[in-house]
Structure 1
Amino acid sequence: MDNSRRNFLRNTALASAMAASGPVRAFSASALKEEKEQAPADGVIGHGQYTYKVDKAWAKVSVNNTPLFNCHEMVQDSKGRLIMLGDCTRNNILIFDKSGKLLDYWGTAFPGGHGLTLSKEGGEDFLYITDCGWYMDRTGAMKPQAGQVVKTDLNGRLIFAIGHPRTIGIYKDDEPFMPTETAVAPNGDIYVADGYGSDYIIQYNNKGQYIRHFGGHHNDNKAHNLSNAHGVAIDLRDKNNPLLVCTSREENCFKFFTLDGKFVKQVDTPGMYVCRAVMNEDELYAGVCWSKDAQGKKFNGSGFMTILDKDNKVVSSPGGTAPVYKNGVLQPTKQAAEPVFLHGHDVCVDDEKNLYVCQWNANHTAPVKLTRV
């Protein structure tokens, strides 16, 4: 493999791995066992029509040749390959086939590699890579810098980069920019979620030229604000009314906007610190990085994933407790009694409806495959 591909964009590196948002308390297995449902003993997780066989050994990777820190996000390209972004600069991008065989790897420039979006343009696939801006110094301390978004082809060739919004006058000097995700609309417009910075959603055209921004913290109608705008996605389930799904993770909800930034509705996911929405036909899938205990406090190692149907009703939470609605209101969801995941960060849905769960802060583990049963 061409070594230059593994070293592309070396001089554009800005940052490092994601830092957790908000305070957490230590995981206590004994305290939690009483308040979570028992996971199936046969390795099958999920609920209703959405159940899955767990395969934690799916990815064939080498600790020496392809080490992992955090597996942040994954997409499937037009050839059926699974492309994963992580924050280890020996191999930011890992490319697998569906059996878990490693086909290729490249990238050294994204120590804060966090968001990965696939865009299909004129029959060709492109990647939008988001570096959130955190980096780890030699002492192991996490430190922030400005983040960036770059567009590349599947081999890592740079198409263009989107830098700090302050350079075009739309951020004040005291507003940080630490982007976490992108989404690309059918017309090519690019939406950047500033999820670890100022919580704006910034809209650009397909050349990276600014159009508008919305969200943030200072709207007169507080429902329009975002708090930890961790993800953004395009919702095309209603072809006549496409929407933008924005994660407001600290509020345990998704907020829906029109493509020109007008607030439409909020969908609550009580107890679940949801990551980006992943749209697949009629369903919305999301990783859950943390959940809450019986006292309503967030704690480490409490993640899973969740699935919403076409009406945005939770129908399954693999690795979590079964969804319960009372008078039409979803009750708080927690991690299952026997944890499968630590911190669910992203879900990739392949062309056979199998799932691949990427995790943050999970002991350097590779993505977990969930085979639909």
Structure 2
Amino acid sequence: MLTSEQKHLIPHATPKNDEDPHGKIIGQGKFKYKIDAHWGKLNPNKYPIENCHAMVMDSQGRIFMITDNTTNNILVYSQNGELLDAFGSSFPGGHAIKIVKEGEQEFLYVVDSGWIVNRHWDGHSTEQWDSPTNNVIPQAGFIAKMTLDGKLIYSIGHPQTCGAYKPEQPFRPTDIAIAPNGDLYVTDGYGSDFLLHYDKQGRYINHWGGHHNEDKNYNLHNTHGVEVDLRHPLNPTLIVSSRFEQCLKVFSFDGKYLDRISANGAYIGGPVFKGELFYAPVCWSHIDNKNADDSGFISIFDKSNTLIANLGAPQPQYINGELQPMQSNGDIFNHVHCICVDQDDNLYVGQWNSSKTYPIKLIKQSC
């Protein structure tokens, strides 16, 4: 049974903004970017996509993108936008992708969120999420570890198999982070909203989060993204999005709550680190007491986790230390879902529910 929050997570047809943003300069202060809206465009008949869910760069500078179209789940781009490879047909709910180096070899982790196109679709139902004839229906998700050319090494399935969940608890994971020792942290953001901890062999260790903790700081609501924060080497932490609380939460590796990072007005995803900064995708703005369609943007935070710039939304403002509500009018982005940062601080941006548009490039401008 889907909650009202989860009902907003399924792709549906949304018209693209009428104005082509190609060539436009966006951002504030030191964070200004020129939009290359043509960067990732491909032949949709040969390389169709539904949503650009996640992107990550390997040590060679290649950009891997996961989509939820099983014609080719993974597209590999050069930084110039050339298609280098396309593979994978086993991830109907392809949602997150991370690369980790073990020794001299890099490996790919793919998260499938469990949403699938319904072969029994009645041809018109798109909002009846609990109906067996809706166009998209849920199943259990999973995590796969692979080589960079797509060979499967192992997979992690429903946590009921290790006794961590009851069979009736849904498991639809949304993201994964890899700690320096190889341990895995998985957000179950479309399922039961726990953060699950596994060792590097995929063996369950523990989990925390959910909705019903006596200490509300431990609650997670649509915990969409997670990443390891190594900016303070002596005290590494996890930063986890609690998207429907419009915030990020900081935890120790063993699950102790440490801090809350406000994203007031922004339904924010997990962080993407580059140097002392992190970038975070915002899927929706909070407008008229709801997560408004076509109102996404990108937020940039400094080393102290202060929000210092928005791309596609006004400059953030703090009054007496409190972040004021933010929102975008949707003139640049529909729903920002993923960000990748290259060696020159250029950004590669993918979107959910944006009329099947390919990723774009934001070219950093010199001050």
**TM-score of the superposed pair, with normalisation by structure 2:** 0.89
Aligned counterpart, 2:3: none
By how many angstroms is 1:41 displaced? 11
Report the Cα distance in structure 2 between the residues aligned to 1:282 and 1:63, rounded to whole angstroms.
37
Maintained 8 Å contact 2:41/2:359: no
Aligned counterpart, 1:3: none
Q: 2:303 aligns with which of 310, 324, 339?
A: 310
Amino acid at match of 2:199: N
By how many angstroms is 1:64 displaced? 1.4
Q: Give unmatched runs, 5+ long, in structure 1.
A: 1-17, 30-39
Aligned counterpart, 1:162: 156
| CA shift digits 1:159-196 (9 cap, x unpaired) | 11001100111102321100011000000000111010
Report the Cα distance in structure 1 between the residues aligned to 2:320 and 2:327, rounded to whole angstroms.
20
Aligned counterpart, 1:323: 316
Are residue 332 (structure 1) and residue 325 (structure 2) matched?
yes
Amino acid at match of 2:347: L
Higher relative CO (Cα under 8 Å, sequence separation at least 6) belongs to: 1
Amino acid at match of 1:299: A
Maintained 8 Å contact 1:60/1:101: no
Q: Give unmatched runs, 5+ long, in structure 2.
A: 1-5, 122-133
Aligned counterpart, 2:189: 195
By how many angstroms is 1:296 displaced? 3.5
Report the Cα distance in structure 1 between the residues aligned to 2:256 and 2:24, rounded to whole angstroms.
43
Aligned counterpart, 1:46: 27
| CA shift digits 1:145-165 (9 cap, x unpaired) | 000000001000011100110
Q: Give the ranges of 4+ consecutive aligned residues of structure 1 lying more than 6 Å apart after TM superposition.
A: none
SS of the equivalent of 2:311 reads coil
Amino acid at match of 1:300: D
Report the Cα distance in structure 2 between the residues aligned to 1:324 and 1:235, rounded to whole angstroms.
24
By how many angstroms is 1:297 displaced? 2.7
SS of the equivalent of 2:244 reads helix
Q: What is the count of residue pairs matched by the alignment? A: 341
| CA shift digits 1:205-238 (9 cap, x unpaired) | 1100111111112221011110001011000111
Report the Cα distance in structure 2 between the residues aligned to 1:312 and 1:215, rounded to whole angstroms.
22
Report the Cα distance in structure 2 between the residues aligned to 1:174 and 1:63, rounded to whole angstroms.
38
Maintained 8 Å contact 1:19/1:134: no
1:352-363 superposed matches below 5 A: 352-363=344-355
CA RMSD of aligned residues (A): 1.9
Report the Cα distance in structure 1 between the residues aligned to 2:314 and 2:160, rounded to whole angstroms.
43
**TM-score of the superposed pair, with normalisation by structure 1:** 0.88
Maintained 8 Å contact 2:194/2:207: yes
SS of the equivalent of 1:317 reads strand
Aligned counterpart, 2:363: 371
The percentage of counterpart residues that share the same residue type is 46
Aligned counterpart, 1:20: 8
Report the Cα distance in structure 2 between the residues aligned to 1:65 and 1:342, rounded to whole angstroms.
24
